[in-house]
Structure 1
Amino acid sequence: MLVIEHNLDVIKCADYVIDLGPEGGNAGGNIVVTGTPEEVAKVEGSYTGQFLKDVL
């Protein structure tokens, strides 16, 4: 199943995350990091990862 989600409670339960960004629009659409929520949380350049640190 593929889910496009911004809710951290959903993201932290995912088996695998593909974080796109780093921004939206023309500054987005690039793969920033892929992996488990714990792996994503370790990547400094991932906005999602920075917020995930607080909920893991």
Structure 2
Amino acid sequence: IVLFNQLVDNGNTLIIIEHDLAVISQADWLIDLGPDAGVYGGRILYSGTPRDSMRVPASKTGTA
């Protein structure tokens, strides 16, 4: 996470695919895809701050 923050502080944009909630919670913006894998997923369930994702019942990330 420290390295990610250093990259952002230096003006870089990071796009990270992650399942670790500690990393997700540090993001400025979250795009949550789901609700499941394969043909049962791939929809954008949420786009916004990680904190506000908790308000989306269909989001497994937000309800974790």
Number of residues of Structure 1 aligned to a counterpart in Structure 2: 51
**Unaligned stretches of 5+ residues in structure 2:** 1-13
Q: State the TM-score, normalized to the length of structure 2.
A: 0.76
Identity %: 47
Q: CA RMSD in A?
A: 0.6
Choose between structure 1 and 2 for higher RCO, CA contacts under 8 A separated by at least 6 residues. Answer: 1
Q: State the TM-score, normalized to the length of structure 1.
A: 0.87
Q: Looking at secondary structure, tell me which structure has more helix per residue.
A: 1
Larger radius of gyration: 2
**Unaligned stretches of 5+ residues in structure 1:** 52-56
